[in-house]
């Protein structure tokens, strides 16, 4: 965690901001994430997710991503879900004739099947 005394005070004020997502602490936390130097908001965190997971995020953004990850419980949960989805997706394609694992969510199966049936992009490579 940061040793920045101002940020530590702001974090103390923000404590519990997820309990009341319409309350002032939640709005204050969003403002802090958007405006405080070196921090990113949850939307930016989500946009960095794939590059971070694949190791393609530039160093400065990686530090911001990891700082947000350490501060925001909602995004920690989102990142864990993202990693779990990737693991389950890989398990789906280990072998063609293997049965599906029982813990694969039906939504993931539907999403994979839809993606497989979708026509290829007409974008040039």
Q: Which two tokens stand for residue 66?
A: 């990891």
Residue-wise pLDDT for 7-19, tens only, equals 888 888 887 777 7
Which among 73, 11, 62 is positioned nearest to 36, based on CA atoms? 11
Residue-wise pLDDT for 69-106, tens only, equals 888 888 888 999 999 888 887 777 766 666 777 777 88
Length of the chain: 125
CA 29 from centre of chain? 17
Mean pLDDT estimate for the chain: 83
For residue 95, what pLDDT is reported?
65
Which among 94, 97, 93 is positioned nearest to 115, based on CA atoms? 93
For residue 40, what pLDDT is reported?
92
Separation of alpha carbons 100 and 120, rounded Å = 25
Domain ranges of the chain: 1-78, 89-118
Q: What is the mean pLDDT of residues 60-71?
A: 91
For residue 125, what pLDDT is reported?
47
């Amino acid at each position: 965690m940061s040793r920045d005394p101002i940020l530590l005070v702001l974090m103390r004020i923000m404590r519990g901001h997820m309990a009341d997502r319409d309350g002032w602490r939640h709005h204050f936390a969003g403002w802090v994430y958007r405006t405080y130097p070196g921090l990113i908001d949850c939307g930016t965190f989500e946009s960095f997710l794939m590059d971070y997971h694949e190791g393609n995020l530039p160093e400065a953004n990686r530090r911001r991503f990891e700082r947000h990850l350490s501060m925001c419980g909602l995004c920690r949960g989102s990142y864990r879900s993202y990693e779990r989805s990737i693991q389950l997706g890989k398990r789906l394609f280990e072998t063609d004739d293997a049965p599906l694992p029982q813990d694969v969510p039906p939504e993931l199966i539907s999403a994979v099947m839809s993606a497989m049936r979708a026509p290829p992009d007409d974008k040039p490579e």
